[in-house]
Structure 1
């Protein structure tokens, strides 16, 4: 298993093949509404496995359309042109994509490249006058993230981040229940995010490209999940790192991190991020009056779970289709999402990641 994308896809296939508590006719269901309004015209930067997943999902979008590509591999551009009917004038490489500023047919660029490249690429997109959508983690540290936000603000363009779970129906139902007080005072959250990573030469195990290891790749799901499940921002973190294979996981590339967070209300979170153990994709939220358990909690779908009131039965959707349609509403209609997906939201996660690495280095509790 080579990457988080592979892991999440495998979790998806496993979940789909197992007995599940929903009507199969609702699988990846979409609304029958006819939409005749403006379309968000998107170019994808980075034509790897996840870029391909997003492109396929956009085929059924109502408000967003794939119109361009940016890649350093000419053969991929040719393939995508044929597959997605992309005109040559909307195709760019990493050296010349600043020229999109002169292309009125592109509204936004979705940056899906290795983590360490996001900072410079998003800033270039902003300077070209285009809205930026960036995969998570938005950057490799909070400082870089804040610079990206400033560049987009200065250019008067929006900066959104690929938090697809913020639009997932079962996730939103748990958030609704928490806001309605159905769990009572929240006391505890547990997040488990991990898989056994494969190819040791991949960019996710290269600190210069990834900015870290499992925490930057899969652990961010538990960080972000804790925040939207508990409904508060943490005020402290502690963390411990375990490394069993220093050859594969070189200096600065974490294999396994256990971390804890404390919240203003007194609620606590206990989380695990790992590249060494497979089949970890679970969230658990506990309040004085009830609980929610989600497993899989962040895979591509279906998200499954239960609360003290019974199974979660919200419609199953293609996450990236819903994400792109909702982001079109945010960009074109200034819609406010239930859970933020902007650059400020991403920097909150990055500040926590920075603090986790500091806690590991110092062995002390780090205040946020």
Structure 2
């Protein structure tokens, strides 16, 4: 038995030796990279479903950390304190959060409240001397968006908009392909963004809080997507609105809008924004030398797509994790994503939305000056 054991040990040692000879660096495998740079300390304002999604994603961030909360619901604050280890001194409500100006533990506030509250809240955060990350759309119109940009500039703080797709690997790859002329001259973009919305009493169907309906919530993805896939800004829009349920979708709350955009190069886009149809999350673009298709194109789950070069195989990482780490790099090191996420970028989308609403209402072709 001892002889057999010795024989097996010799075989094992020999196998290890062969492995080392064939791969001499195997014993030198580097440990998981440890980040030692500055940490962006973030307070989340608005502890609803998307705020929760961001909080969960931030648990995997290397460069950003959840350290505070702002909410109008005391029970949510208590729950988040317990779940995320947030100290009481970093907890605020909507009346007293101006006091964050005296809190050195918070660098930035992520505003994730209804659209109609973004402008006032962003300006208050800026005046408190904190960087602002504001969920899109940044406001209910371009005028509000510009006020937010001006307030943050005056306070010398950053204003970033929650464009998570600007950090998503497959999306970034396609944008880089366009920049590298792999598609040739982009000619046509199609964006389909929509789902059937549920609870008719929710704030997304309240004009004062949402600023509109499907266009503000989901249509903005096709607007922004057309811009980063084509690589230019539109100069005109036309639009047509369809409403089948005026009880659920009251005056000023759009149910379905089809819209078309024209670009300086001659490229055109044809898009659909709706709260009345499912299975609509698709981008398509064709150029003079190639094409791309993404479906789903903006959903939270893994993005899927292909181009004339083949399937997109970049790994899926939770979008909000990449976004928050990317924004930390932007704030601390000035590292810009492939497409901007600043307030000016948000204002451009708001100007287009304003023009789409005008075109849908008047039936006219509306010129855009971005």
Tell me, yes or no, whether TM beats 0.5: yes
Provide the residue aligned with 2:258 in structure 1.
Answer: 258
Give yes or no for contact 1:64–1:325 (8 Å, CA) kept in 2. yes
Q: State the Cα deviation string for residues 165-206 of structure 1 (Å, max 9, x = none).
A: 000000011001111111111110000000001110000000
Alignment of 1:182-261 (within 5 A): 182-261=182-261
Give the match's secondary structure for 2:140: coil
2:329 counterpart of 1:329: yes
Structure 2 unaligned blocks of 5 or more? 1-30
2:320 matches 1:320: yes
Q: Match of 1:182, SS?
A: coil
CA contact (8 A) 1:301 1:317 kept: no
SS in 2 for 1:44: strand
The answer on 1:356 being equivalent to 2:356 is yes
Cα distance in 2 for partners of 1:315, 1:178 equals 20
Distance 1:307 1:90 in 2: 47
Q: Distance in 1 between matches of 2:275 and 2:301?
A: 21
Secondary structure at 2:291 match in 1: strand
Q: Does 1:165 align with 2:165?
A: yes
Alpha-carbon distance in 2 for matches of 1:185, 1:336: 25
Give me the TM-score of the superposition, normalised by structure 1: 0.91
- For 1:199 and 1:52, how far apart are their aligned partners in 2? 19
1:32 offset after TM fit, Å?
Answer: 3.6
CA-CA distance at 1:156 after TM superposition: 0.1
CA contact (8 A) 1:112 1:135 kept: yes
TM-superposed CA distance for 1:334, in Å, is: 1.4
2:63 is matched with which residue? 63
**How far apart, CA to CA, are the structure 2 residues paired with 1:155 and 1:301?**
37
How far apart in 1 are the matches of 2:167 and 2:336? 12
Moved over 4 A (4+): none
Partner residue in 2 for 1:89: 89
Unaligned runs of 5+ in 1: 1-30
2:37 aligned with 1:37, yes or no? Answer: yes
Secondary structure of the 1:198 match is: coil
Q: CA RMSD in A?
A: 0.8
Which structure would you say has the larger Rg? 2
| TM-score calculated relative to the size of structure 2 | 0.91
Output the CA distance in 1 between the equivalents of 2:151 and 2:257.
Answer: 32
Describe the superposition over 1:226-250 as per-residue Cα deviations: whole angstroms up to 9, x where unpaired.
0000001100000000000000000
Tell me the distance in 2 between the aligned counterparts of 1:175 and 1:297.
13
1:3-42 equivalence runs, <5 A: 32-42=32-42
CA distance in 2 between counterparts of 1:330 and 1:301 reads 25
Q: Distance in 2 between matches of 1:351 and 1:219?
A: 14
Does the Cα contact within 8 Å between 1:186 and 1:288 map onto a contact in 2?
Answer: yes
Q: For residues 113 and 266 of structure 1, what CA distance do their matches in structure 2 show? A: 38
